Structure 1
Amino acid sequence: MDGIRIDRWLWATRFYKTRSLATDACKRKLIRINNTPLKPSREIKVGEVIEIKRGPLKMTIKMTALLVKRVSATKAQECYEDLTPAEEYESAKREAKRLRPLPIVSSSKGRPSKKQRRDLEEFLFNEGLNS
């Protein structure tokens, strides 16, 4: 065997939890080789450099070994070489922190009162209708 489907390799090396998630990532053009989006059925070979976009992070991975079955995380890490620069990880971390939603602080504990519920519903659902 000299090649393997990209979706299967991404799943086996634990970049995606399920094979269908890896397939969806390929269909959404998040997986690229030489800036060309890949189809899930594309066969990749050892030595190819793959770009994976996961949120704000754009990873660059070099395939070093074929994997057909899903293995442990430590064995999976031996099948690729991460070429992503450290500053890319730092900028992605800052961007994720910036985009993180603020926690909702509740003034009361437990279930909202009738007035609080009405105020909340008015704010969430009727705000766009008044303007």
Structure 2
Amino acid sequence: MLEKIRLDKWLWAARFFKTRSCAARAIDAGHVHYQGQRAKCAMPLKVGDLIKVQAAHGVFEVHIVQLSQQRGSAEIARTLYQETPESIVRREREQYAQQLQPHFDHPDIKGRPSKKWRRQLQQAIDRQTS
């Protein structure tokens, strides 16, 4: 069993980031905190450490349960950490709030608007301003 492993490698193995370089960029940008402090890529991890990860799919606060250098399936990756109850509640609340946000997509438009749709948009804007 491994005693210590690099933070960026563990984040990649736990599937928080798609590649190890993405994990390293997130760490360098300050999106990962180790034991409440800003982390560095080469920090050695131990079982029981607390990590806060701000990824594209949410903010996670997790305790390390296992160490792994290999990236496995999603089921195996979930066994590497245990998310704190506060983190789960916060993430669910944020997802619910995002679902309540209005969406302004036109159902007929995919990609760039057509000339007709641009004219309609401009007419709607003109009506609002006058």
* Alpha-carbon spacing, 1:29–1:100, altered in 2? closer, same or farther (3 Å): farther
How do residues 1-131 of structure 1 correspond to structure 2 at under 5 angstroms?
1-54=2-55, 57-85=58-86, 86-97=88-99, 101-106=103-108, 112-113=114-115, 116=116, 119=119
TM-score when normalising by structure 2: 0.73
| Cα RMSD after superposing both structures | 2.8
Aligned partner of 2:128 in structure 1 is none
TM-score when normalising by structure 1: 0.73
- Matched residues, number: 117
* Alpha-carbon spacing, 1:100–1:38, altered in 2? closer, same or farther (3 Å): farther
Q: Return 5+ residue gaps in structure 1 as ranges.
A: 124-131
* Alpha-carbon spacing, 1:30–1:68, altered in 2? closer, same or farther (3 Å): same
SS at match of 1:23: helix
Q: Return 5+ residue gaps in structure 2 as ranges.
A: 123-130
Letter in structure 1 aligned against 2:32? I
Identity of matched residues, %: 24
Farther off after superposition, 31-40 or 81-90: 81-90
Once the 2 structures are TM-superposed, how far is the Cα of residue 90 of structure 1 from its aligned partner? 2.1
Letter in structure 1 aligned against 2:96? R
CA distance in 1, matches of 2:103, 2:91: 20
SS at match of 2:47: coil
